[in-house]
Structure 1
Amino acid sequence: MDQNLKLNPDDGTILPDPSSYRRLVGRLLYLTITRPDISFFVNMLSQFMQNPRDSHLTAVFHVLRYLKGPPRHGLFYLAQCNFQLSAYSDVDWASCPTTRRTTTSFFITLGNSPISWSTKKQTIVSQSSTEAEYHAMAMTTCELV
């Protein structure tokens, strides 16, 4: 999917009945359990649950078209595993155009198999990229423990 998906809370007109948008995004949130490739986009779309606009619904349909395409991604769990735990974290400092908050993500594997992943906005506004990295590592460590 296009990593440059930009959703503005003021683009388009407010949906008269937001229930269909909320239902679709809720189903996409459930689907991120097995499809980590859409986690970032569904996270962005779920931020507009209160006042969804027609541009947000268009973005939901874009994600659905992506999912309907040929299967290119998937999770593979091997029967033979070395049971080595690995964790990776990353930060996109002040990346949210509306709140200027940092997006934090982590990815944890057991052997070659993914077992946990997440992408979230940090609850605080980091003053530097170093501080943002520290919070990302803390969040990853909490997940590991």
Structure 2
Amino acid sequence: MLDCAPMPTPMSHSSRLSSTDNVQLNEEESSTYRRLIGRLIYLTNTQPDIAFSVNNLSQFLSSPTKHHQQVVFRILRYLKGNPGSGIFLHKNSNNQLRGYNDSDWATYSGTRKSVTGFAIFLGESLISWKSKKQPTISRSSSESEYRALAATTCEIQRLTYILKDLGIPYIELAILFCDNQSAIHIASN
């Protein structure tokens, strides 16, 4: 992979993964795939931009296909093109928490479960993020977005307690951004 061309994104937006995508990998290739996914999971501690893609690929550890392997290689090509991207903690930022959340309704074709994703900043510094399959099936995109909103709110509350325990004062209330109007109305009700 040293001579490969870099990619601008870790995963194609139109890429939908399933266990019946393509030709199954042989045992040696499957073992290599599992090791790569393990290393990428570890790398998500400092590279939150690959969290969603690695989460998707880790669903197929038991029976990876050639298509899954190609997506892993795309992530590696993305990492090659972005060696300096990661977490940057600003020295002179304010102490306001800002959360951004989103949900992808019924992402997984087999289970119809949605994915929650959020990123929380302290000032200009990213301090918490998550991309996780929701535990229950949502009946609408509004319900899925509301569950993501609730998960992000819980994380902001947890971070508020941690900041208080560390003696870090926060001057302004936390701000939570959501892009679904019906979920906002449900939450305000």
TM-score, normalised with respect to structure 1? 0.90
* Alignment-mate amino acid for residue 112 of structure 1: E
Q: Which residue of 1 aligns with 2:51?
A: 39
TM-score, normalised with respect to structure 2? 0.71
Q: Which residue of 1 aligns with 2:166?
A: none
How many angstroms apart in 1 are the aligned matches of 2:149 and 2:22? 37
* Alignment-mate amino acid for residue 132 of structure 1: S
Change (3 A) 1:50 1:12: same
The answer to whether the aligner puts 1:12 opposite 2:12 as a matched pair is no
Unaligned runs of 5+ in 2: 1-8, 159-189
Unaligned runs of 5+ in 1: none
How many angstroms apart in 1 are the aligned matches of 2:82 and 2:125? 22
Percent of residue pairs identical: 50
How many angstroms apart in 2 are the aligned matches of 1:74 and 1:121? 23
How many angstroms apart in 1 are the aligned matches of 2:56 and 2:154? 23
1:7-53 deviation per Cα after TM superposition (whole angstroms, max 9, x unaligned): 22112222221221111001011111111111111111100011111
- CA deviation after TM superposition for structure 1 residue 59, in Å: 1.3
Alignment of 1:22-37 (within 5 A): 22-37=34-49
* Alignment-mate amino acid for residue 34 of structure 1: T
Give the 3-state SS of the residue equivalent to 1:134 in structure 2: helix
The answer to whether the aligner puts 1:114 opposite 2:126 as a matched pair is yes
- CA deviation after TM superposition for structure 1 residue 110, in Å: 0.4
Q: How many residues align?
A: 145
How many angstroms apart in 2 are the aligned matches of 1:6 and 1:60? 14
Q: Which is further off, 12-21 or 46-55?
A: 12-21
How many angstroms apart in 2 are the aligned matches of 1:27 and 1:71? 16
Q: Which is further off, 45-54 or 92-101?
A: 92-101
Give the 3-state SS of the residue equivalent to 1:126 in structure 2: coil
Tell me which of 72, 85, 110 is aligned to 1:98: 110
The answer to whether the aligner puts 1:66 opposite 2:86 as a matched pair is no
Change (3 A) 1:124 1:70: closer
1:98-139 deviation per Cα after TM superposition (whole angstroms, max 9, x unaligned): 322111111111011000011111111101222212211221
